[in-house]
């Protein structure tokens, strides 16, 4: 599974991350390859109503070969050292060893658990199970195994389709496959965040902040549970990385941005916040630079990638929200956000680190336009969730504290990136 997804994503990663190290390309190849596969699976299963799986893999492999030839993809091993240009010190090595241990322990968990989280059981895994055991998507709504029979019809299918495909390749249904897929996402975002930070701050800071990302209790917990929040968090952070690269003048960053944003939107509905926020910044940037061709490509590609799921959503009258607007504002939700992020231990003390970094580096952040935009991107995601909880029936979820911490996971990797970049600016001068 990993091989097919990476083979498909590798040529794209080669173009989009041309100067980056091989581990980063591998991580990006998985994230993009997984998206390309589920995007097609959705068309095969929901639009073409196809019923077998083996020939899907032949198509994916054929596409991989064509992409390798067309984009002249190569494997040229370069390690992080070559990419960051510095030699790791003893402390860096210790931090990286702890990081490796955390990743390995997460893998043990992924292999040793069932799908025991509520949403995992009730939404993401069971949808996959229905398709797996039925051998196709059942459209007869009277059938208890039809796609309409489950709750949360309006939820996108990226995670579940990835689980179906992974289990098909596994040969039998196993919860561990679903968990390990999430673990792949976990490892990918760790590599990408470390790689991104290592050349922009320093190895020690990059290792420390990546370790905080990897070992924040709730983020770690999701690394071996088949929810979709961690996947969304990966794509939201990847969008930030591509936005940053677009700002730096990377020619094809808009392609990566478009793919990661649509991937976010087809992973969870909350991905629309990332889609709107990052698209807005890119459009402003490209308009100011008068890069009309890139702008047209970005809009066209994003529209094309969005079409299968968005049209399906419209045809089947699927809304996007879980909740409805309420007449009164529920300001108590703000306290719940405060409690979840700052007073609970879900993110260890990271929320306090954010406050401290902001307090000590605010002026320098304001002076750095790229960093400021990155902070605004994260703040917009945060505000969007806050707005939903204040103004809709979702405030009940806030009061009972069932969803906020999971929502914050979707922001967390991006927040770690901007906090680490801002930490670099702390000084007395």
Partner 1 sequence: MPLLGVLCMGVFFLIFFIFDDSVEFFKKDVKIIFLGIVLLLWLPFSVGFIWTNALNAIKHLAGGTVDVRWQSLMCEIDSNQRLQGLLCSIAATEQAVRKEVSKGVSYCLLANPTAQLYMNYEFYGYYRQEDCAKADYAFVSKSDKKIGTRADHLLIYDSSGQPTDIGRFEITVVDEKLGSFILKRK
The contact set with partner 1 (CB under 8 A) reads: 98, 102, 105-106, 108-109, 111-117, 121-122, 126, 129-130, 132-133, 144-145, 149-151, 173, 204-205, 208, 211-212, 215-217, 220-221, 224, 342-345, 348-349, 351-353, 355-356, 359-360, 423-424, 426-428
| Tokens 């969304």, residue located | 232
Q: Cβ 360 to partner 1, closest distance in Å?
A: 6
Q: Cβ 418 to partner 1, closest distance in Å?
A: 16
Q: Cβ 208 to partner 1, closest distance in Å?
A: 5
Q: What ranges make up the beta strands (E) of 19-171?
A: none
User: How many whole angstroms separate alpha carbon 45 and alpha carbon 43?
Assistant: 6
| CA–CA–CA angle 245, 248, 249 (5° rounding) | 95
Token output for 299: 């809009």
Token output for 178: 């679903």
Pick 130 or 250: Cβ nearer partner 1: 130
**C-beta atoms surrounding 173 within 10 Å:** 17
Q: Cβ 163 to partner 1, closest distance in Å?
A: 12
Q: Cβ 116 to partner 1, closest distance in Å?
A: 3
Pick 126 or 334: Cβ nearer partner 1: 126
Pick 372 or 426: Cβ nearer partner 1: 426
User: How many whole angstroms separate alpha carbon 170 and alpha carbon 172?
Assistant: 6
Pick 207 or 275: Cβ nearer partner 1: 207
Pick 43 or 334: Cβ nearer partner 1: 334
Pick 65 or 426: Cβ nearer partner 1: 426
User: How many whole angstroms separate alpha carbon 182 and alpha carbon 128?
Assistant: 14
Q: Cβ 358 to partner 1, closest distance in Å?
A: 11
Pick 151 or 367: Cβ nearer partner 1: 151
| 263 closest CA partner among 308, 205, 203, 219 | 308
| Tokens 């996971």, residue located | 409
Pick 89 or 303: Cβ nearer partner 1: 89
DSSP helix/strand/coil, 7: helix
Q: Cβ 268 to partner 1, closest distance in Å?
A: 19
Pick 66 or 94: Cβ nearer partner 1: 94
Q: CB–CB of 326/395 below 8 Å?
A: yes
Q: Cβ 92 to partner 1, closest distance in Å?
A: 12
88, HSE (Cβ side, Cα atoms, 13 Å)? 21
User: How many whole angstroms separate alpha carbon 173 and alpha carbon 127?
Assistant: 13
Pick 68 or 173: Cβ nearer partner 1: 173
DSSP 117: S
Pick 83 or 95: Cβ nearer partner 1: 95
Q: Cβ 280 to partner 1, closest distance in Å?
A: 32
The phi, psi pair for 85, rounded to 5°, reads 75, 15
Q: Cβ 322 to partner 1, closest distance in Å?
A: 16
Longest dimension (CA), the chain: 69
Long-range contacts of 111-117 (CB under 8 A, 24+ apart): 111/176, 111/179, 111/180, 112/176, 113/175, 113/176, 113/179, 113/224, 113/225, 114/175, 115/175, 115/178, 115/179, 115/225, 115/226, 116/225, 117/225, 117/226, 117/227
User: How many whole angstroms separate alpha carbon 277 and alpha carbon 256?
Assistant: 15
Q: What is the DSSP string of 49-62?
A: ----SHHHHHHHHH
Q: Cβ 397 to partner 1, closest distance in Å?
A: 16
Q: Which residues lie across from 392 on neighbouring strands?
A: 325
Token output for 321: 């929200």
């Amino acid at each position: 599974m990993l091989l097919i997804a990476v083979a498909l994503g590798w040529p794209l990663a080669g173009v989009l991350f041309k100067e980056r190290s091989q581990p980063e390309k591998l991580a990006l190849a998985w994230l993009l390859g997984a998206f390309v596969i589920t995007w097609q699976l959705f068309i095969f299963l929901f639009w073409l109503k196809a019923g077998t799986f083996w020939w899907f893999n032949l198509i994916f492999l054929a596409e991989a070969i064509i992409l390798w030839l067309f984009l002249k993809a190569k494997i040229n091993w370069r390690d992080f050292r070559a990419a960051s240009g510095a030699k790791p010190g003893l402390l860096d090595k210790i931090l990286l060893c702890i990081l490796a241990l955390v990743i390995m322990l997460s893998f043990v968990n992924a292999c040793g658990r069932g799908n025991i989280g509520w949403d995992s059981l009730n939404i993401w895994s069971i949808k996959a199970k229905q398709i797996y055991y039925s051998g196709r998507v059942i459209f007869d709504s009277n059938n208890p195994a039809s796609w309409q029979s489950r709750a949360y019809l309006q939820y996108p299918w990226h995670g579940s389709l990835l689980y179906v495909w992974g289990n098909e390749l596994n040969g039998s249904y196993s919860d561990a496959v679903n968990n390990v897929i999430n673990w792949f996402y976990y490892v990918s975002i760790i590599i990408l965040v470390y790689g991104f930070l290592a050349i922009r701050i320093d190895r020690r800071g990059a290792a420390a902040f990546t370790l905080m990302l990897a070992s924040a209790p709730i983020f770690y917990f999701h690394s071996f549970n088949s929810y979709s929040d961690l996947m969304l968090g990966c794509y939201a952070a990847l969008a930030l990385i591509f936005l940053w690269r677009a700002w730096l003048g990377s020619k094809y960053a808009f392609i990566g941005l478009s793919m990661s944003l649509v991937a976010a939107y087809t992973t969870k509905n909350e991905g629309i916040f990332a889609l709107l926020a990052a698209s807005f910044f890119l459009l402003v940037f490209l308009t100011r630079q008068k890069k009309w061709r890139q702008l047209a490509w970005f809009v066209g590609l994003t529209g094309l990638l969005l079409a299968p799921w968005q049209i399906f959503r419209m045809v089947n009258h699927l809304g996007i929200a879980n909740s409805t607007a309420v007449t009164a504002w529920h300001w108590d939700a703000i306290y719940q956000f405060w409690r979840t992020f700052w007073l609970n231990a879900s993110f260890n003390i990271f929320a306090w680190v954010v406050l401290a970094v902001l307090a000590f580096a605010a002026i320098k952040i304001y002076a750095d336009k790229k960093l400021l935009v990155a902070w605004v991107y994260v703040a917009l995601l945060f505000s969007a969730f806050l707005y939903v909880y204040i103004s809709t029936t979702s405030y009940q979820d806030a009061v009972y504290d069932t969803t906020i911490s999971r929502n914050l996971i979707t922001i967390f990797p991006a927040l770690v990136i901007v906090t680490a970049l801002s930490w670099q600016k702390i000084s007395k001068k």
